[in-house]
Chains A and B, each alone.
Chain A
Amino acid sequence: MFLKKVMVAGAMSALLGTAAYAGGHAMCGPDGASVRILGSDFPAIQAVAGAAEANCSGSAGEFTINLRDDTRDMMNQALTPNPAEYTSVIVANSTLTQLMNDDLVRPLNDLVDKYGANLKPHQLITIDGNVMAIAFMANSQHLFTRTDILAQAGVEGTPSSVEEMVAAAEKIRAAGIMEYPIAMNMKVGWNVGEIFNLFYFANGGELFKPGTAEPAVNSAAGVAALNSIKSLLEYTHPDHLSHASNETQALWEAGQAAMAIMWGSRGGAVLDDEGSTADVTENTLLSMAPTANGGSTPAATLWWDGVTIAKNVPDADAEASFAALVSGLNADLMKEHNDKAIWLIDGFQPGPAAAGVSATANAGAKPYPMIPFVNLMHNALGSELVDFYKGTESAEDALADVEAAYVTAAKEAGFLN
């Protein structure tokens, strides 16, 4: 349903969009302006920034693209001075919050009216009536399975819940095929926090007491989430606390895991013919993230990546940057880069690499919360739950530590008194 909605909306806006392309070339905004783009370095963003450059670098006075790792650690500093270092930053849910916390991005309503003819309504990230970002791709965690290994172990169908994953893992282990059939990103820090979010939301939990910055993780749902995770960790590589996306992808491509909870954005790289053998790629199935404890919400968080425009730059530069980036978000981009992401853009044909994210979104997974203090909670989870996973602390004690650590940080940041 999720992708169907995207496609129907896309077809409609494609009809409307043709009018904006008078003369068949992209509209690039004021001539001679400066366009300076900052973003994370992965194929989908390379494609978007590349299309903007191809369309509009001719008419811009200056056109630079800086794609790098860990942009979230420097984007606030880069946008704080006036004029800012970059005119546009490509962000995700959590990083938009981070920029908005310091009031560094501008509302885009008038620019959308002027240049946004090929955008679809659900691409507009709207907060209190202001369009703050233009989303172009979706992402979420979901299940990767090796159909051949499951069949060999006598597992029928694709596991769709934690309990089924554990049962399947036990069969694989009992059959002597693999000692550690499950892989997931459990690296201490951000990943440990994120895995908790997945299973906490799947168990119906809320991170904060509604309408406040008070923590609410030390609850029955929190304990249930930790127990779900622990039951899976019985079957993961003992080094799991040092495994992030690159390590789990490597385990998968080396054929050393049969079920994994990994990012949808890794799907393309896993399924392509690089870095792995045909045995692995041909038998890899991408499907919905598992549910837990009889619930119906998949253990995943939905993410988008999108374009923002800096507040502290001249209006002409802002307009040219928006026009350039938006000019590339169309069917032409899809023709060339269809399999690089789960695009929200008009003309996208969902392939096998998109199946997992699409199924997860359709089943009602929760979006990653856009709350100003969610980073602080995420960090507290990432560091304080480790004792539980190492087996030196009970679930309740670990969750109490999370709340205490979060409250300490939130008080210092001014969110709690």
Chain B
Amino acid sequence: MKHRTFFWFILPTLSAMILFIALPIVSVFIQSLFVEHEQVLVVSESCGPFGCNQTTSIDAEATAALREEKPLGRFNGLSTYFDRSHLASAEVAEIWRESTGLASFVNGLMDLKFYRALIFTLTYTFTVTPAVLILGLAIAVGVNNLPRAFRGVAIFISLLPFLVATVVGSMILSWMLDGEGIIGATLQNIFNDPSLTIKSSTPLMWIALIVYGIWHTLPFSFITFYAGLQTVSKDTLEAAQIDGANKWQSMIHVVVPHLMPLVSFVTLMLLMDNFRVFEPIVSFNAEAHAQSLSIFIWSDLREAGNPLYASAGATSILTIIGVAILLTPVLIRTWRDFNAKSH
């Protein structure tokens, strides 16, 4: 394709991407560099049903004047990125100095919310993603080998977890896992231990969240792989059979290599989605045991009356950086395959 034609061809997509993806990211980044003006406070007497006392309030006029002058706030540079709620450089350095070994260092890190969230998020991402890839492929192959009459029903049932809204699905599972719910109560009965509850144990809660994550995203990888299986060349499979390959061997040496581009695609999507894990944590009431970067963005912006835009902006940018780091190996691989094919 000529460069000129290519340019006109890509222009609509490119302008939409600049407008709706690139510019918002730039705007978020700029906001993360500024913090609120110093608040002008006044102390006065306030009275109500419970008597009178001295209260502090904000001098609205003085604060408005400051805002008028510099609408973005005070320039703070990258300091927000390195404060205690984010990368916590000073705190990490101190923990490093005081730690006696790797274990005590990690223990100290777990006290800082950013790292605590990162450890959960990475554990979640690196268990859910491979599990969904492997199980999705297994189900796709299974369904593909069913007699034609049952396939429609099997596909429909396999897609169900995807059709349930994340919030609803995780809410239902959360009720079932509750100490009073069907799964929670059954577990207590089996182990004869009334203090065994998923919601009070960090490891059990992590397992519950991971199981939910796998259940919910499985249909996505299943349907993608199922579509891919329809394009596997019958000739190649037959040739493999004639060469004496058994089912497992033709699976590993014919089907999987054929599906590799799809595996890259599904991996990319899963890594991105799982790194931003959010709804299950809210629905499971799991904030005591598991937090993610998305949860922090949400709570900073919900900080009613004093939304922390800089903090939320910094967390967003750090999330983007995190996703980029995770995707790099997959992208490099895809790029190499692409180059190999084009030569």
Q: Which residues of A contact B (CB under 8 A)?
A: 6, 72-73, 75-76, 93, 95, 97-103, 122-129, 135, 138, 179, 187-189, 211, 213, 237-242, 302, 304, 344, 361, 367, 369-373, 375-376, 379, 383, 386-387, 389-390, 393, 397, 401, 404-405, 408-409, 411-415, 417
One digit per residue, 1 when the CB lies within 8 angstroms of any chain A CB and 0 when it does not, for chain B 265-294 equals: 000000000000000000001111000000
Q: Kindly report which residue of chain A lies nearest to residue B196, judged by CB atoms.
A: A238
Q: Is the CB of A188 within 8 A of B306?
A: no
Chain A residues whose C-beta falls within 8 Å of the C-beta of B288 in the assembled complex? 188, 241-242, 386, 389-390
Judged by a CB distance under 8 angstroms, whether B195 is at the interface is: yes
Closest CB-CB distance, A413 to chain B, in whole Å? 5
Q: Are A372 and B38 in contact (CB under 8 A)?
A: no
Do B50 and A361 have beta carbons less than 8 Å apart? Answer: yes
Task: Check A76 against B83 for contact (C-beta < 8 Å).
Answer: no
Chain A residues in 8 Å Cβ range of B91: 404
- Which B residues touch A75, using CB under 8 A? 304
A179-B194, A237-B179, A390-B288 known; A126 and B47 CB under 8 Å? yes
4 smallest beta-carbon distances between A and B, as pairs = A98-B305, A103-B60, A128-B44, A242-B285
Is the CB–CB distance between B85 and A409 below 8 Å? yes
In the complex, chain B residues whose CB is within 8 Å of the CB of A125: 46-48
**In the complex, which residues of chain B have a beta carbon less than 8 angstroms from the beta carbon of A389?**
288
A135 in contact with B49 given A100-B58, A101-B306, A414-B36 (CB within 8 Å)? yes
Question: Which of B35, B44, B58 makes the CB contact (< 8 A) with A411?
Answer: B35
Bound form: Cα–Cα A397–B285 in Å: 24
| A408 partner residues in chain B, CB cutoff 8 A | 83-85
Interface contact A387-B111, CB-CB below 8 Å: yes
User: Chain A residues with Cβ under 8 A from B41's Cβ?
Assistant: 213, 372, 415
Residues of chain B contacted by A361 (CB below 8 angstroms):
50
Identify the closest chain A residue to B34 (Cβ): A412
Among A126, A242, A304, A412, contact of B310 (Cβ-Cβ < 8 Å): A412
* Interface pair A344/B202, CB less than 8 Å apart: no
Q: Is the CB of B302 within 8 A of A373?
A: no
Within 8 Å by CB of B50, from A72, A98, A302, A375, lies A302
Among B45, B200, B305, contact of A76 (Cβ-Cβ < 8 Å):
B305
Is the pair A102, B285 in contact by a Cβ cutoff of 8 Å?
Answer: no
**Chain A residues positioned under 8 Å from B43 (CB to CB):** 211
**Chain B neighbourhood of A239, CB < 8 A:** 178-179, 197, 199-200
- Closest beta carbon of chain A to B82's beta carbon, Å: 11
**Which residues of chain A have C-beta atoms less than 8 A from B64's C-beta?**
103
Q: Point out which of B35, B37, B42, B50 has the most chain A C-beta atoms below 10 A from its C-beta.
A: B50
Check: B170 CB closer than 8 A to any chain A CB: no
Q: Interface residue tally of chain B, by bracket? A: 35 or more
**Bound-state Cα–Cα, A73 to B41, Å:** 23
Q: How many A-B contacts if CB must be within 8 Å?
A: 172
Complex contact A412–B47 (CB within 8 A): no
Interface residues of B in 35-90 (CB under 8 A from A): 35-39, 41-51, 53, 55-58, 60-61, 63-64, 73-74, 76, 80, 83-85
- Contact, CB under 8 Å: A401 / B111: yes
Contact yes or no, A127 B306, CB < 8 A: no
Contact B306 A375 (CB under 8 A): yes
A128 pairs with B46, CB closer than 8 A: yes
A122-B47, A344-B49 provided; 11 other pairs, C-beta below 8 A?
A: A95-B304, A102-B60, A128-B46, A188-B287, A238-B197, A239-B199, A242-B199, A367-B48, A375-B303, A376-B306, A414-B36
Please give the distance in Å from A1's CB to the nearest CB on chain B: 12
List 27 contacting pairs A-B, 8 Å CB cutoff, sorted by A: A73-B302, A98-B304, A98-B305, A98-B306, A100-B57, A124-B48, A125-B47, A126-B45, A126-B46, A213-B41, A304-B49, A344-B49, A361-B50, A367-B50, A372-B39, A375-B303, A376-B303, A383-B113, A387-B111, A404-B84, A409-B306, A409-B311, A412-B36, A414-B36, A414-B73, A414-B74, A415-B39
Q: B162-184: which have CB < 8 Å to A?
A: 178-179
Q: In whole Å, how far is A307's beta carbon from the nearest beta carbon of chain B?
A: 13
Q: Are A124 and B50 in contact (CB under 8 A)?
A: no
Chain B residues proximal to chain A, CB less than 8 Å: 35-39, 41-51, 53, 55-58, 60-61, 63-64, 73-74, 76, 80, 83-85, 91, 111, 113, 178-179, 194-195, 197, 199-200, 202, 285-288, 299, 302-306, 308, 310-311
Q: Which residues does chain A contribute within 8 Å of B76, judged by CB atoms?
A: 412
Supposing A76-B305, A241-B199, A371-B55 touch, asked if A123 and B35 sit within 8 A by C-beta, the answer is no
CB distance from B317 to the nearest CB of A (A): 15
Q: Are B58 and A101 in contact (CB under 8 A)?
A: yes
What's the nearest-Cβ distance from chain B to residue A36, in Å? 20
- Taking CB atoms, residues of chain B closer than 8 Å to A304 are 48-50
Set A76, A98, A100, A411: member contacting B60, Cβ < 8 A: A100
Query: Is B39's CB under 8 angstroms from A138's CB?
Result: no
Give every chain A residue within 8 A of B310 (Cβ-Cβ): 412
Q: Which residues of B contact A376 (CB under 8 A)?
A: 303, 306
Q: Which residues of A have CB within 8 Å of B45?
A: 126-128
Q: Which of B42, B43, B60, B310 has the most CB of A within 10 A?
A: B60
Cα-based distance from A98 to B58 in the complex (angstroms): 10
- Residues on the B chain within 8 Å of A237, using CB: 179
Residue in contact with A238 in the complex, picked from B73, B111, B179, CB distance below 8 Å:
B179
A415 contacts across to B, CB distance below 8 A? 39, 41
A408 to B299 Cα, complex, angstroms: 15
Known contacts A126-B46, A241-B199; is A372 also within 8 Å of B36 by CB? no
Q: B335 to nearest A CB, angstroms?
A: 40
Q: Judging by beta carbons under 8 Å apart, are B200 and A188 in contact?
A: no
Instruction: From the candidates B38, B47, B111, B179, name the one contacting A414 in the complex (CB within 8 A).
Output: B38
Chain A residues near B306 (CB, 8 Å)?
Answer: 98, 101, 372-373, 375-376, 409, 413
Interfacial chain B residues near A122, Cβ < 8 Å: 47-49
CA distance A408 to B306 in the complex (A): 13
**Interfacial chain B residues near A412, Cβ < 8 Å:** 35-36, 76, 80, 83, 308, 310-311
